Structure 1
Amino acid sequence: MSTPMDSRYTGVSELPPYRALLVVDMKDYSGNAGRDQTELTKLIPEIMQSAFERAGLAWIWARKSAHNGTGDGYAIVLPPELLPHLLNPYLTALQEELEHRNRYRPHFWNGPIRFRVSVNVGPIADSGENQLGDGSGAERVVLHRLLDSDPVRHLLNGSDPEVTQVAAIISRRVYEDAVLARFADDPASLYVEAGAEVKTYQGQAYLRVPKPSGYLLGAGFLKPARGPETPAGTTTPPAPSQPAGGFGVQINGSSGPIYTGSGTQNNTLYHGRER
């Protein structure tokens, strides 16, 4: 009979250490010429590191244990107590760093560099030496499922590429541990709950956009249930309405539509049936 002290014992196992996980993925990476992709692959962790420095958190980048490239992205593993910093101020610093980089980007790149970001926390293999297999585990799978989900992809598709450079999605556990518990010092109202379904994964997640723009301002972060289909089979949000008389863009606030822009503005409450 095997016992827990016997090497043949196949029963209960100890949990691997809890770690904070962060991964970024560059939108439209494959749209760049093959000869430029190597440079972009090397640039992604450089941008991430610069964003930590911009936020005054260079010491956090230095504490990463497991870390590796994903071709069009990069993932890092950190001690769990650093999780709140990955939300505030890091997401805003990453947006600002990309704004700076994109201002001076080469003309031959396929548009500005824009990142989807996913954050999770949980038990992960980690030897502390970035060995093969480190950073693996069920929560690492969740990290990438969230990154590939429609809700966070919609955030970049529905925003101005020259304005919104970062769209983030965080797991429910991150939201509860860092946001609701106030360790991140981020108002919960900055996050929008969304269901994420990718392959066999289904779960609740939360969306965060440091600098929303375009369609997101008028219609919110969530993808509409139905919409016109493009030839590629993706749902394209309709453009914000443009009323006659030069009122500008319509923003649907809680008290009714508000029009911005040049010309006479009519910002009175809408008294008809709720829209």
Structure 2
Amino acid sequence: MSSPVPAAYAESRPLPPYRALFAVDAKDFTGLPAVQHGPVSRLIPELVDQALDRAGLHELREAKRFLANTGDGVVFGFDPALLPFVLWPFLGVLDDTLGAYNKQSVGPRIRLRASVHVGPLPDADRPGDGNGTARNDTHRLLDSRPVKAILTAASEQVTHLAAIVSQRVYEDVVLSGYTGLHPDRCVEVPATVEGKTFSQRAWLYVPSPSGNLVQAGVRPREESAAPADTSAAREQEPATSGTQYSGNTQHVGEGAAVMGSVGRDVTYSGGSTTNHGTNQHWGGGDNVSGDKRVGGAGAPR
């Protein structure tokens, strides 16, 4: 006999435990030949696990909650106490792991979008665990326009990962100083998803920016994130070196701003756009200034 669906607002009940969430999916997965879908679907969790090991997060690799392979990616829950280490060094190590794989691989390049969120989710080893608003929002962040636009605009030879962090994680983990990821490495964006009634404040982090992202004032990491012992890392002060965002003022109403030369398929859409030198102010869409070449290898994104 199935369990009855509880009525919302009818009575008070215990809040489910807070669970952090991490999700990734692969850029251009659906454009791959069908014969490559299965191998790439299996490869992505393997690369994530390799990066977890290299980042010293062995306990997280073995303690994932409600793990799911989404075909073009993977999503899982975990103890929120590990959020600082997922933001730093894990995201940087994952970027390095993808870069090393892409450099030696003769197959398709694996470039990922990642989202990080936290919220109350049922987790009692029962069917349906992990489902809730926090899970839905994690996937919406992953599909949002800013993180897609940034990964499209960046060099596929250098930038292998673009991450979007929810406002809740940013406030609780980054601004509170619990992680080595400095706030200056993050760029605020409004996360919206085409065709969905979803809009949230969020933060982009690109471990290895490239091309027009560098021209826009996003400087590469001075050194790769090193593997960390999580027990010792909790006692360390947040790092202050690495990627910094400076030089250009960008006020984003929706989507993502990219300045410089864009050589892949990028389309422009939006409302009002005013350009004053290197400062950009716009109300909607993805704003791209500089050399923009549309078409070529694939369909506009």
Task: Give the aligned residue type for 2:140.
Answer: R
Match of 1:126 in 2: 123
Higher Rg: 1
Q: How many residues align?
A: 229
Distance 1:90 1:236 in 2: 30
Alignment partner of 2:165 out of 164, 170, 174:
170
Secondary structure in structure 1 of the residue aligned to 2:189: strand
| 4+ residue segments displaced more than 2 Å | 219-226, 230-241
Secondary structure at the aligned position of 1:16 is classed as: coil
Amino acid at match of 2:76: I
1:202 Cα deviation after fit? 1.2
Q: Is the 8 A contact 1:218 1:240 kept in 2?
A: no
Which letter maps to 1:132? P
Partner of 1:97: 97
TM-aligned CA deviation for residue 220 of structure 1: 5.4
Q: Decide which of 204, 207, 223 is 2:204's aligned counterpart.
A: 207
* C-alpha displacement of 1:50: 0.3
Structure 2 CA distance for aligned equivalents of residues 182 and 106 of structure 1: 41
* Pairing 1:110-149 to 2, within 5 Å after superposition: 112-127=109-124, 129=125, 131-149=126-144
Gaps of 5+ in 2: 1-8, 219-251, 270-285, 293-301
Alpha-carbon distance in 2 for matches of 1:82, 1:125: 18
- Taking the TM superposition and a 5 Å limit, the aligned residue runs for 1:182-261 are 182-198=177-193, 199-219=196-216, 223-224=256-257, 237-239=288-290
**SS of match in other structure, 1:217:** helix
How big is the shift at 1:171? 0.4
**Contact between 2:159 and 2:209, CA under 8 Å: does it hold in 1?**
yes
Normalising by structure 2, report the TM-score: 0.70
* C-alpha separation in 2, matches of 1:43 and 1:193: 31
* Alignment partners' CA distance in 2, 1:219 and 1:37: 35
Which residue pairs with 1:83 in the alignment?
83
What pairs with 1:47-86 in structure 2 (closer than 5 Å)? 47-86=47-86
Deviation (angstroms), 1:78: 0.2
Structure 1 position 43, deviation (Å): 0.7
Matched residues in 2 for 1:76 and 1:16: separation?
16
Task: Give the equivalent residue in structure 2 for 1:23.
Answer: 23
The Cα shift of 1:11 comes to 1.1
CA root-mean-square deviation: 2.7
Q: What letter matches 2:209 in structure 1?
A: P
The residue that corresponds to 1:271 in the other structure is: none
Once the two structures are superposed, residues 203-247 of structure 1 have per-residue CA deviations (whole angstroms, 9 ceiling, x without a partner) of 100000000001111135762499x9x697775834569xxxxxx
Question: What are structure 1's unaligned runs of at least 5 residues?
Answer: 1-8, 242-275
Matched, 1:181 2:176: yes
Q: Which TM-score applies when normalising by structure 1?
A: 0.76
Residues 126 and 190 from structure 1, CA distance in 2 versus in 1: closer, same or farther, beyond 3 angstroms? same
Whether contact under 8 Å (1:16, 1:123) holds in the other structure is: yes
SS of the residue corresponding to residue 88 of structure 1 reads helix
CA contact (8 A) 1:159 1:216 kept: yes
SS at match of 2:65: coil
Taking a change above 3 Å as real, the CA distance of residues 46 and 238 of structure 1, as seen in their structure-2 partners, is same
Partner Cα distance (2:266, 2:144) in 1:
20
